[in-house]
A and B are shown apart, each in its own frame.
Chain A
Amino acid sequence: MSMLDINGRQIEIDEDGFIVDPASWNEDIVSYFAKQEDVSELTENHWKVINYLRQYFQQFGIAPMIRKLCKDTGFTLKEIYELFPSGPAKGACKLAGLPKPTGCV
């Protein structure tokens, strides 16, 4: 694990670069991770996905099923990949401050 300095705040990240404590998430982290995950510009559509992921995680403590994410945000999986080139489970979850989905994914 290591610490990131994001605009003067120390944020702990794990080996995969995901934040360790979901409560340490803030909007500055999103801009910082966006560059790492090949998201060139954060648009309203990115925020729609990020906010949905955060809200689902707060309610259920886990990332939503990929198809539910698509259905509830109105994006196709292809569009999600266009928004987050490293995919919903990696890039989108990372920006939203969720733990990295693990297991057979």
Chain B
Amino acid sequence: MKPPMHVAKDSEVALIGYPRIPEQDQQAAFLKKLDDLRVSMRSLMVMLENCTKCGNCAKQCHSYLGTEDYNNFPAARAELMRRIYKRYFTWTGRTFGRFFGAEDFDADTISKWLTYFYQCNECRRCAKFCPFGIDTAEVTIAARHILSEIGIMPKFMQGIAVNMNKTGNNMGIPKPAIIDCAEFMEDEMREETGLAIKIPIDKPNSEVLYIPSSADFFTNIDTMIGAAKLFHYLGVNWTIPSTVLEAANFGLLFNVNVMREQNQRLKAAATALGAKLVIQGECGHGWRAAKMYTDGCSGPVSFELVHILDYCDKHLDKLPLKKLPLRATLHDPCNYARAGEIIEQPRRIMRACVEEFVEMTPNRDENYCCGGGSGILMDEMMEIRMKLGKKKAEQVKALGRIDYLAMPCSICKAQIPAVMKHYGVLDLPMGGVMDLVGKAMLLGDTK
């Protein structure tokens, strides 16, 4: 079985500090890593011990519904790990082998794991509907971590880790380019409003640190502009650290040690500045990583951490907003709705910014993933990605005419336009929620 993505080569994984374990030693290393997690990550054992194969999750998983591949049925996906676990770590599996659902580690194990644990978007929808609360995202996080620990990972993840080490952001934007981009966006805002709205980079003595997604400095600039206008209007003393121009934390998506290192960069930037408040920009999994793991990775920390949509929502009443003449809907990023408590805030913001807000069905914590979640954005996986996005396309199409699709997460912003085009939804404007705030705010000449 050949995995559907480019796999990082020996020289490439060594470059980021995860050298490839030679083939003859891989089984022992692989089982050792699984054993480590068996002991340290007890929640994983709950996932592995309790599945009754009731089949509930199959109906709820967009990955299985879109690909119709048996191994993308969440219980079957987790079974890829469960069988190995049984074989090597339970007496029944050791004794009765296949008759007890146990399976030997063999030549295909690694490629099967790469193939199927990278078709799980870690969206947690299965957990929502599982009577035991089995969360395949946890199994996927553990599986990807084990693979990367023995030097096996998609080239896409490795490339992002290289950029992160070099520049502090996924895209690899060096500081002079960050400053150039910020000046360009300032010019754009000056042309629109006549005001000198700043996007300060590394400004000393700032009270607030804003952590945008690096994609906001490439494709999604209206998200960045929305945040800058909000801070300007509220008179916030803020800055963006050039060392962490990244709300994303791909460590959560392929190696938890990498996640810790990146989270520590965030703490270092905030500490160096003496910031009291850190505001994370529109990024789904990055918000989960920051909110759920900062204390564990880098704690104790001396700053408060909030999300830009939560922050904006709290100040909504003060903002000079004029409703835009749009019929708009919201795609809930999985990590906001099922892992980050950002559910009603974007709705309140959107209702204040557009004339008509409509819900897609299902929504909130039952929403379907865009199909790009957990960093499945590899070009070479486009065909699979479109299958993973099928449920999302159906949800949007069912709404009839809409003028704007809000998707406040950079992965969603990269994935959904491709999905819409693939399924024939053309010329639909899409972007973040902060984009709408920026456009609806009456500032300077736009009053």
| A interface residue numbers (CB < 8 A to B) | 15-16, 59-63, 65-68, 71, 89-90, 99, 101-105
Contact with A along B143-182 (1 / 0, CB 8 A): 0000000000001100110010000011111101100110
Given A60-B180, A104-B248, A104-B411, are A65 and B221 neighbors across the interface (CB < 8 Å)? yes
Q: Are A60 and B174 in contact, CB atoms less than 8 angstroms apart? A: yes
A89 CA to B219 CA, complexed, in Å: 9
B414 at the interface (CB under 8 A from A): yes
Tell me if B137 counts as interface (CB < 8 A to partner A).
Answer: no
**Residue numbers in B under 8 Å from A71 (CB-CB):** 184
| Chain B positions near chain A (C-beta within 8 angstroms) | 6, 155-156, 159-160, 163, 169-174, 176-177, 180-181, 184, 188, 213-215, 217-219, 221, 248, 283, 377, 379-380, 410-411, 413-414
Q: Across the interface, which residues of A come within 8 angstroms of B155, CB to CB?
A: 15
Residue of B nearest to A88 (CB): B219
The answer to whether A62 touches B215, judged by C-beta atoms less than 8 angstroms apart, is no
Min CB–CB distance B445 → chain A (angstroms):
19
Shortest distance in angstroms between A92's beta carbon and chain B's nearest beta carbon? 13
Report the nearest B residue to A57, measured CB to CB.
B177
A62-B184 in contact (CB<8A) = no
Interface centre among A61, A62, A68, A90 (most CB of B within 10 A): A62
- If A68-B184, A102-B156, A105-B219 touch, does A61 touch B411 (CB 8 Å cutoff)? no
CB-CB under 8 A from B181, the residues of chain A are: 65, 68
B411 / chain A contacts, CB cutoff of 8 Å? 104
A4 to B174, CA, bound (A): 30
Nearest residue (CB) in B for A104 is B410
User: Top 5 nearest A-B pairs by Cβ distance?
Assistant: A103-B170, A104-B410, A60-B177, A103-B171, A15-B6
User: CA of A101 to CA of B174 in the docked complex: distance in angstroms?
Assistant: 13
Q: Helix, strand, loop or mixed for chain A's interface?
A: loop
Instruction: Find out whether the CB atom of B414 lies under 8 angstroms from the CB atom of A62.
Output: no
A54 to chain B: closest CB distance in Å? 15
Task: A90 to B378: give the CA distance in the assembly, Å.
Answer: 12
Across-interface contacts of A62 in B (CB, < 8 A) = 171-174, 177
The interface residues of chain B lying within 8 Å CB-to-CB of A105 are 171, 215, 218-219, 377, 414
> Is there contact, CB below 8 Å, between A61 and B174?
yes
Cβ–Cβ < 8 Å partners of A68 in chain B? 181, 184
Q: Beyond A15-B6, A66-B218, A90-B379, is A104–B163 a contact (Cβ under 8 Å)?
A: no
Find B217's partner among A15, A59, A65, A99 (CB 8 Å cutoff): A65
Q: Please, how many angstroms separate the alpha-carbon atoms of A71 and B180 in the complex?
A: 14
B410 and A102 contacting across the interface, CB-CB below 8 Å? no
Chain B nearest CB, measured from A105 CB (Å): 6
Whether the Cβ atoms of A67 and B221 lie closer than 8 Å is yes
**Shortest Cβ distance from B172 into chain A, in angstroms?**
6
In whole angstroms, how far apart are the Cα atoms of A42 and B156 in the complex? 31
